[in-house]
Amino acid sequence: MSGSKAPIPVVDIGALFGGTATAMAATARALGAAARSYGFLYVTGHRVPAALFERLLAAAQGFFAQPLAEKMRVYIGNSRNHRGYVPEGEEEFTAGSKDAKEAYDCARDLPQDDPDYLAGNPLLGPNQWPEFPGFKRAVNDYYEATFNLGRVLLRGFALALDEPPDRFDAVLTKPPSQLRLIHYPWDPLAEDKPGIGAHTDYEMFTLLRTTAPGLEVMNESGVWVDAPPIPGAYVVNIGDMLELWTHGDFVATSHRVRKVPEERYSFPLFFAVDYHTRIAPMARLVAAGQAAHPGVIAGEHLYAQTARTFRYLRARLARGELVVPPAAEASSPFGQQAKQRQHAPLPGSGAES
């Protein structure tokens, strides 16, 4: 089923920026309720200036309007830390299905002499910047503001878990948190195929701004629900890492993007923790005698899932140029879609509309 109506939570997080203890506790409860039942919410009161998003959108529109040959000068396959332009068809979330979009991927712009980059870390290091006026500054300014919002939001989630607000601060020193600039072209003559196939995000959570409808999320009943943008609000969805850390108390959001009758731009920042962080269920959330996930290394999980999705990385794997840690090779078992499949075949799942 698709397009079913359901109330998606809207949470004003203004209190997390220095409100009273009572107000912060109330905000944390609202965040926790959304993370447990939907794994998805809208966030307002975030204090990120609207001008930063407007500048980012203008930079993205200008960059993607260039000829393909110009964009391919910063092709992601030319990098060794997964940064740059992603042409249409580069990604594949389901076998034989190529997503109808193009993207530009970046993260915190570390210097060329960063020790992790020099040591060959596959996700840390400098960005591959196009020679497009104002692009670098617009992207970096938006990245910093949204990443700082993620720090505040994670403190709210910590409170929702009855943890100290700084519970996760120690693992946010240099995380591979990626910002994607995504362009979904519209072609009225093209076949009706997903803009992006059903999946969960691999990180702690995602902070998304977008310009048009098209996003659908799976609710706790296994129904695909429309999630149109709310002006000025961020869309936030829980990812694999936070579901794992909370032993399934918070649920990763299974979501997809459907073809829509208009051009669409989307800007998700995937908020992660430091690459070498070991993530396993919090002991106090695992009942005596209950089986628990053995855990993952955050960066290894992220890179393994990425390597399964991108053609250029799969080619490098096939040539033996890179190796994915064996413990991280399995498909992601997280999200509502995975939970539904554990119980029974799900009517209306997949790409039906």
348 within a domain of the structure (yes/no): no
Q: Is 339 within the bounds of a domain? A: yes
> Which CATH number characterizes residue 281's domain?
2.60.120.330
For residue 339, pLDDT over 60 is answered with no
**Domain total for the chain?**
1
What DSSP letter does each residue of 216-232 carry, written as one string?
EEE-TTS-EEE----TT
- Contact between residue 241 and residue 295 where contact means Cβ atoms under 8 Å apart: no
Chain center to CA of 315: 24
State how far the alpha carbon of 341 is from the alpha carbons of 95, 333, 350, in Å.
18, 10, 11
Domain that holds residue 134: 10-343
Beta strands, E only, 129-214: 178-184, 196-199, 205-210
At 329 the pLDDT is: 54
pLDDT on residue 3? 44
- Checking if the pLDDT of 347 tops 50, the result is no
Model pLDDT, residue 345: 38
Residue 191 contacts residue 218 (beta carbons within 8 Å) = no
Residue 198 lies in a domain: yes
Evaluate whether residue 94 is within a structural domain. yes
Residue 303 has pLDDT above 80, yes or no: yes
pLDDT digits (tens, 9 = 90+) for 43-101: 999 999 999 999 999 999 999 999 999 999 999 999 999 999 999 999 876 555 566 78
Treating both helix axes as pointing N-terminal to C-terminal, what angle do 50-64 and 135-160 enclose, rounded to 10 degrees? 130
pLDDT at 241 over 90: yes
Q: Residue 3: inside a domain, yes or no?
A: no
Percent of the chain exceeding pLDDT 90 equals 68
Of the listed ranges 24-33, 45-54, 171-180, 256-265, the least confidently predicted one is 256-265
Whether residue 352 is contained in a domain is answered as no
Specify the DSSP class assigned to residue 310: B
Question: Mean of the pLDDT values across residues 161-177?
Answer: 97
- Average pLDDT value for the chain: 87
CA-to-CA separations, 22 to 15, 18, 25, 26, 151, in angstroms, rounded? 9, 11, 5, 6, 20
Is residue 4 assigned to a domain?
no
Q: How many CB atoms lie within 10 A of CB 306?
A: 19
| Pairwise pLDDT comparison (142 vs 339), residue with the higher score | 142
Q: Is residue 146 part of a domain?
A: yes
pLDDT over 70, % of the chain? 85
